[in-house]
């Protein structure tokens, strides 16, 4: 008897195949398919029919499986995912590549995509928090890993968010055909509350740091972060052609607030502001910084780095910063360079600039400023009383000699 083809529902029947039972069906394309159920010595016809019903339920839940299609393994999916994400910024791509390496370290290249469960997702998070995966980096081949190091809670949350995004693309692509669900659906990617009790580097502290620097390259490097709110990478990637009218005094006003400026710095997206890919302009906020920029770039080519590589090595900048802090007689603080940028935004806000202006100069959204940068108003150490007199932007002390 021939089985009637129903395009909306697959019916699985049982037939004899010598000493074995066989399940067979017609897929949605009209092709006949079969699967062995086991020997007649082991299963009765009734037991074989029970197995066939289970197969029927699975095939109707996963239509593509009824046609003999299969999902790729985890490794192949991650490769195809990264190749397809041409819509994200290079910095975001870098983070997603790191997340893919963590997933491979946790689950393995050959892990079937459909077999990844919510328990696997929970174990992934647990391994990251314990430090079992946090050293996973590409150093040659894709599956070689460095030593372990512990990730912060915020970093773990970020990797979970990325993993949830990655698997959401798999669900979009194969969810209907294979009944695929996001294994990270129950995992929260919300970062823990930000501790805003960070170090406030006063104008006096900054003057001590600059005095302990061995050249103008390091002085400008620190001032671009502490006064101008540059990211570390932005300061190191800045080129001479991005400076305009340096040393020419002027002013900029927003409502009742008017501040002196000494030139303009243009930060283009992609090449300098690589984290966001969005460019911005901001004024030079101190005369002594403008003077140091002029000294440092005098006679330099337009494509030369503002901070010369021979003065600030790109390979050991963090270790060198520790020495600068030690020579200045200060105590090392957490979030070494990021703190300088936070301090700069705080100082900009404290001189009365509107928050939309501050966020535009700093290069992020207002909500980011409120969540991560501006200190609490209730008086923690970052919101100390000496901010008004020790504001590095408005301080009358000569910071760079």
SS3 (DSSP) at 14: strand
Q: What is the DSSP annotation of 57-102?
A: HHHHHSHHHHTT--PPBHHHHHHHHHHH-TTS-HHHHHHHHHHHHH
| Residue 375: per-residue pLDDT | 63
Nearest Cα neighbor of 59 from 10, 21, 112 is 10
Domain boundaries, the chain: 13-66, 74-178, 203-387
Q: How far apart are CA 137 and CA 126, in angstroms?
A: 18
Residue 47 vs residues 7, 37, 44: alpha-carbon distances, Å:
27, 10, 5
| Residue 384: per-residue pLDDT | 56
| Residue 231: per-residue pLDDT | 95
User: φ and ψ at 14, to 5 degrees?
Assistant: -110, 135
Q: Is the pTM of this model over 0.75?
A: no
Nearest Cα neighbor of 292 from 385, 177, 399 is 399
User: Is CATH 1.10.443.10 what the domain over 203-387 is classified as, yes or no?
Assistant: yes
| Residue 12: per-residue pLDDT | 83
For the chain, report the end-to-end CA distance as a whole number of angstroms.
97
Q: How far apart are CA 126 and CA 144, in angstroms?
A: 21
| Residue 53: per-residue pLDDT | 87
Tokens (6 digits) for 368: 């980011």
Write out the H or E segment, with its range, that includes residue 205.
Answer: helix 203-212
| Residue 132: per-residue pLDDT | 84
Radius of gyration of the chain (CA): 30
Cα pseudo-dihedral 267, 325, 260, 294, rounded to 10: -60
pLDDT of the chain, 401 residues: tens digit per residue = 344 445 567 788 888 888 898 888 787 667 787 888 888 888 898 888 888 888 787 777 666 665 666 788 999 999 999 999 999 888 789 899 999 999 999 999 999 998 899 999 999 999 998 888 866 765 444 334 444 457 888 889 999 999 999 999 999 988 777 778 899 999 988 877 766 678 899 999 999 999 999 999 999 999 999 999 999 999 999 999 999 999 999 999 988 889 999 999 999 988 898 888 889 999 999 999 999 999 999 999 999 999 999 999 998 899 999 999 999 999 999 889 999 999 999 999 889 899 899 999 999 888 777 776 666 554 454 445 566 678 999 998 888 87
């Amino acid at each position: 008897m021939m089985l009637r083809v129903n395009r909306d529902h697959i019916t699985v029947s049982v037939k004899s195949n010598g000493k074995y039972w066989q399940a067979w069906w017609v897929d949605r394309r009209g092709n006949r398919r079969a699967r062995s159920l086991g020997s007649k010595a082991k299963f009765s016809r009734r037991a074989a029919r029970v197995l066939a019903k289970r197969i029927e339920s699975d095939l109707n839940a996963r239509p593509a499986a009824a046609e003999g299609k299969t999902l790729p393994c985890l490794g192949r999916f991650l490769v195809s995912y990264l190749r397809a994400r041409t819509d994200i910024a290079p910095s975001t791509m870098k983070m997603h590549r790191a997340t893919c390496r963590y997933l491979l370290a946790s689950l393995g290249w050959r892990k079937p995509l459909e077999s990844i469960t919510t328990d696997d997702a929970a174990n992934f998070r647990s391994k990251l928090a314990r430090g079992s995966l946090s050293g996973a980096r590409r150093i040659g081949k894709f599956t070689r890993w460095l030593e372990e190091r512990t990730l912060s809670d915020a970093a773990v949350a970020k990797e979970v968010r990325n993993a949830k995004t990655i698997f959401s693309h798999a669900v979009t692509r194969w969810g209907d055909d294979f009944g695929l669900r996001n294994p990270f659906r129950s995992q929260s990617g919300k970062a823990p509350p930000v501790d805003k009790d960070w170090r406030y580097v006063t104008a006096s502290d900054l003057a001590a740091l600059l005095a302990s620097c061995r050249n103008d390259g390091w002085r400008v490097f620190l001032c671009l972060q502490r006064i101008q709110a540059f990211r570390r990478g932005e300061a190191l990637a800045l080129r001479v052609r991005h400076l305009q009218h340096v040393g020419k005094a002027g002013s900029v006003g927003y409502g009742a607030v008017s501040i002196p400026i000494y030139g303009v710095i243009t930060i283009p997206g992609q090449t300098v502001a690589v984290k966001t890919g969005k460019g911005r302009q901001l004024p030079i906020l101190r005369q002594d910084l403008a003077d140091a920029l002029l000294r440092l770039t005098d006679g330099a080519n337009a494509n030369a780095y503002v901070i010369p590589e021979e003065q600030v090595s790109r390979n050991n900048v963090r270790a060198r910063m520790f020495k600068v802090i030690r020579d200045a007689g200060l105590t090392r603080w957490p979030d070494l360079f990021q703190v300088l940028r936070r301090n700069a935004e705080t100082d900009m806000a404290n001189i009365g600039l509107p928050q939309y202006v501050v966020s535009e100069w700093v290069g992020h959204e207002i909500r980011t400023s409120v969540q991560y940068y501006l200190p609490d108003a209730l008086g923690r150490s970052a919101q100390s009383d000496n901010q008004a007199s020790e504001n590095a932007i408005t301080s009358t002390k000569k910071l760079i000699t």
